[in-house]
Amino acid sequence: METVSTNMAFGGVQHVCRHAARSTGTDMTLSVYVPPHAPGARLPVVWYLSGLTCTHANVTEKGEYRRACAELGLIFVAPDTSPRGTEVPDDDAYDFGQGAGFYVDATVAPFDRHFRMWSYVTEELPELVAAHFPADMARQGIMGHSMGGHGALTIGLCHPERFRAISAFAPIVAPSQVPWGEKALSGYLGPDRAAWRRHDAVALIEDGARVDALKVDQGSGDAFLAEQLRPELLERACADAGIALSLGIRQGYDHSYYFISTFMADHLRWHAGRLNG
């Protein structure tokens, strides 16, 4: 793994790394913050999945997580949102193709060759982080924003034995029922809606996926709230399933990193409480 940069922050080290990924067949870049710690200590890990059009850099530069991670002793890992490169298929629209991997393993050509973000995030990346950083892989949490909130919820619901804490900012909770999700899931997975259900948090819960608790924050001033995000569908599914959902509707906040950075420390404290409990 190649080190692109390292910077001291709050007594820890912010890493940006690049490696040749077997899952995607491309180089992938990721951000890893390691807080100050005693020699030989193994630290809990929080994975952060970003939204449409983002790279690892958006949360790294705007997420304001390092102070909280240093205080709480959390490793914070932020991968890219899709494979990239001239050989990787793309689309002119912002919500499909490069920058919009939707955290699935594509089965439709030509995207099936490189767009394997589910395998990258759930299999390859944990192996890489465990090999290169002082990560305690018995204590993992996952969180994300928008498309990444969808990824965090679906990956967490499919791997409840791995993730002790699952949270999201303004997630796409039911992609099978909204335009962003219908476009992405049909383009990557094909027209069979049954194949979409394992990549839809509401459908997963309806089909029996269970965790004890979820934490979600949503801005009331989010322009995508009514058409694309629809947190009320997750609220209803969790109520029917007996999952404790903490749903914070934050008055006046939008979809941006101003919103995410405001509530980032709150989410990280919630993760730390569950990972260290």
8 — phi, psi (to 5°)?
-70, 140
Question: Cα torsion at 198, 119, 234, 226 (round to 10°)?
Answer: -110
Q: Is 222 a catalytic residue?
A: yes
**Residue 67: exposure state from Cβ atoms within 10 A (0-12, 13-18, ≥19):** middle
- Residue 212 annotated among the catalytic residues of the structure: no
- Look at residues 105, 140, 137, 135 and name the one whose alpha carbon lies nearest to residue 120: 105
Candidate list 15, 114, 199, 255, residue with the active-site label = 255
> Could you give the residue ranges of the DSSP H alpha helices within 173-256?
179-189, 201-206, 231-241
Residues 6+ apart with CB under 8 A from 33: 9, 12, 13, 14, 15, 65, 66, 69, 75, 76
Pairing of strands 26-34, 163-169: unpaired
The single residue of 23, 82, 146, 167 carrying the catalytic annotation is: 146
Q: Round to whole Å and give the CA distance between 97 and 84.
A: 9
- The residue annotated as part of the active site, out of 95, 200, 217, 222, is 222
Q: β-strands 135-145, 26-34: how paired?
A: unpaired
Pairing of strands 213-219, 244-250: parallel
Q: Residue 31: helix, strand or coil by DSSP? A: strand
| Catalytic residue ranges | 146, 222, 255
